[in-house]
């Protein structure tokens, strides 16, 4: 009897998910004759036993497509599944339902494609006795155990293009323009896109900023004849001795606190202190959408094909990661230890400082 594997995509969507689904499915069928199934909407499908068979033709032509053909969810945690009972949000453990569905379908291995939240859940499922392997996905590039995640390059390209377009209007109107990007605890997008887009001030979660220093830099540029400034700020950036800016609370989510709005708070503060016209732009879900870059298509294909080898070799309870451009196996225990943050002495931070970029500290 042919081995059966199943795939799910969890957490926020990003460019490159379909490329991984394609790579896993094609190699599994062509090289090993596996049967491949896809659970729909991430762990929601695993909880509710919603799945479909993936044939070779089902994944042909999806390499260039953004999003995920399987759907995803960032709310469905099998160990803390939220549902409404009247006006209240109740949480219950549905992990045994997941285990039953896994066993009932006679799955040999579950491929979990996602970020630290998805892979932390995968680790817990492995502890229950399920054969699980992981593929690192997130635009935030913050998964421990890998140098890079697919989806990151595509997001950086989108943000960089946005900053490029902001430059022309900032110059024309002599404004301070603030571009807010994703990054709850890790500032990888703000750092890389900010440097690539020529940002003047980059504010990231790892380096709490001093508002006075930000204002001083804006005024200094103005005095030197630079009649505009570009500030790139991660949503999780916060002032020294201050806290993050919360947009709203989603009670039925695994991560109920939703950040956002730091650019508008900061913009008002800068305008009041400098009397310079200030505008804010939130990149938001634009960072997640669209076709994957060539780099992400290649990386997704490499990760997807490697994970099939891990299944064949029974290397379960691990994630495929990237280190020094090579592929390695990373225990899910390591992934679950927390996010990979930007080091304050990261070489790119040093390079940025050396050309006059401020981090508000």
pLDDT tens for the chain, 361 residues long, are 779 999 999 998 999 999 999 999 999 999 999 999 999 999 999 999 999 999 999 999 999 999 999 999 887 899 998 887 777 888 899 999 999 999 999 999 999 999 999 999 999 999 999 999 999 999 999 999 999 999 999 999 999 999 999 988 887 778 899 999 999 999 999 999 999 999 999 999 999 999 999 999 999 998 888 888 999 999 999 999 888 888 777 766 667 777 789 999 999 999 999 999 899 999 999 999 999 999 999 999 999 999 999 999 999 999 999 999 999 999 999 999 999 999 999 999 999 999 999 999 9
Residue 24 lies in a domain: yes
- Please state the length of the chain: 361
d(CA 191, CA 201): 10
144 and 9 in one domain?
yes
106 and 177 in one domain?
no
Closest listed residue to residue 41, CA positions, set 68, 81, 66: 68
Catalytic residues: 140
139 and 19 in one domain?
yes
- Residues 6 or more apart whose CB falls under 8 angstroms from that of 241 comprise 208
Q: What is the pLDDT of residue 245?
A: 81
Residue 124 lies in a domain: yes
Give the domain CATH number at 298: 3.40.50.450
Domain count, the chain: 2
Residue range of the domain that includes 264 = 155-289
57 and 124 in one domain?
yes
Q: What is the pLDDT of residue 64?
A: 96
Residue 77 lies in a domain: yes
Residue 343 lies in a domain: no
299 and 250 in one domain?
no
Q: Which of 273, 289, 305 is the last residue of a domain?
A: 289
φ, ψ of residue 84 to 5 degrees: the values are -90, 135
Residues linked to residue 87 through DSSP beta bridges, in sequence order: none
Q: What is the pLDDT of residue 149?
A: 97
- Cβ–Cβ under 8 Å, residues 40 and 52: yes
Residue 49 lies in a domain: yes
Q: Which of 232, 265, 289 is the last residue of a domain?
A: 289
249 and 185 in one domain?
yes
323: tokens are 């280190």
Q: Alpha carbon of 202 to those of 67, 187, 195, 248, 278: distances in Å?
A: 28, 9, 8, 24, 16
Residues linked to residue 246 through DSSP beta bridges, in sequence order: 259
93 and 31 in one domain?
yes
Residue 347 lies in a domain: no
309 and 247 in one domain?
no
d(CA 281, CA 288): 16
Residue 251 lies in a domain: yes
Residue with tokens 């103005």: 222
161 and 276 in one domain?
yes
Q: What is the pLDDT of residue 6?
A: 98
Q: What is the pLDDT of residue 252?
A: 63
Closest listed residue to residue 281, CA positions, set 174, 157, 176, 151: 176
Residue 250 lies in a domain: yes
pTM of the model: 0.93
Q: Which of 289, 317, 347 is the last residue of a domain?
A: 289
Helix axes 211-223, 262-274, angle to 10 degrees: 50
Q: What is the pLDDT of residue 108?
A: 97
296 and 285 in one domain?
no
303 and 277 in one domain?
no
Give the domain CATH number at 189: 3.40.50.460
d(CA 177, CA 180): 10
161 and 119 in one domain?
no
């Amino acid at each position: 009897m042919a081995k059966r594997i199943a795939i799910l995509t969890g957490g926020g969507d990003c460019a490159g998910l379909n490329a991984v689904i394609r790579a896993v499915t094609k190699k599994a069928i062509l090289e090993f004759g596996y049967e491949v199934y896809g659970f729909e909407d991430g762990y929601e499908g695993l909880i509710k036993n919603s799945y479909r068979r993936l044939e070779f033709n089902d994944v042909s032509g999806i390499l260039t497509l953004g999003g995920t053909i399987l759907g995803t969810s960032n709310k469905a945690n099998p160990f803390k599944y939220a549902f409404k009972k009247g006006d209240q949000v109740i949480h219950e453990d549905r992990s045994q339902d997941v285990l039953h569905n896994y066993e009932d379908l006679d799955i040999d291995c579950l491929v979990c494609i996602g970020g630290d939240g998805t892979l932390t859940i995968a680790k817990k499922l492995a502890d229950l006795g399920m054969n699980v392997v992981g593929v690192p996905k997130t635009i935030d590039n913050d998964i421990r155990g890998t140098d890079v995640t697919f989806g990151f390059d595509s997001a950086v390209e989108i943000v960089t293009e946005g900053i490029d377009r902001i430059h022309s209007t900032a110059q024309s109107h002599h404004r301070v323009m603030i571009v807010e990007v994703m990054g709850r605890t890790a500032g990888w997008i703000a750092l890389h896109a900010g440097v690539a887009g020529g940002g003047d001030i980059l504010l990231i979660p790892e380096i709490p900023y001093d508002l006075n220093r930000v204002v001083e830099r804006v005024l200094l540029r103005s005095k030197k004849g630079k009649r505009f400034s570009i500030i790139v700020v991660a949503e999780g950036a916060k002032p020294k001795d201050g806290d993050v800016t919360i947009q709203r609370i989603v009670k039925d989510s695994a991560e109920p606190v939703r950040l956002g709005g730091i650019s508008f708070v900061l913009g008002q503060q800068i305008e009041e202190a400098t009397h310079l016209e200030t505008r804010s732009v939130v990149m938001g879900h634009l960072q997640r959408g669209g076709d994957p870059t060539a780099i992400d298509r290649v990386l997704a294909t490499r990760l997807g094909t490697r994970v099939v080898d891990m299944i064949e070799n029974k290397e379960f309870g691990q994630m495929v990661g990237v280190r020094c451009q090579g592929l390695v196996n990373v225990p899910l225990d390591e992934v679950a230890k927390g996010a990979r943050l930007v080091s304050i002495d990261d070489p790119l931070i040093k390079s940025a400082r050396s050309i006059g970029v401020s981090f508000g500290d």
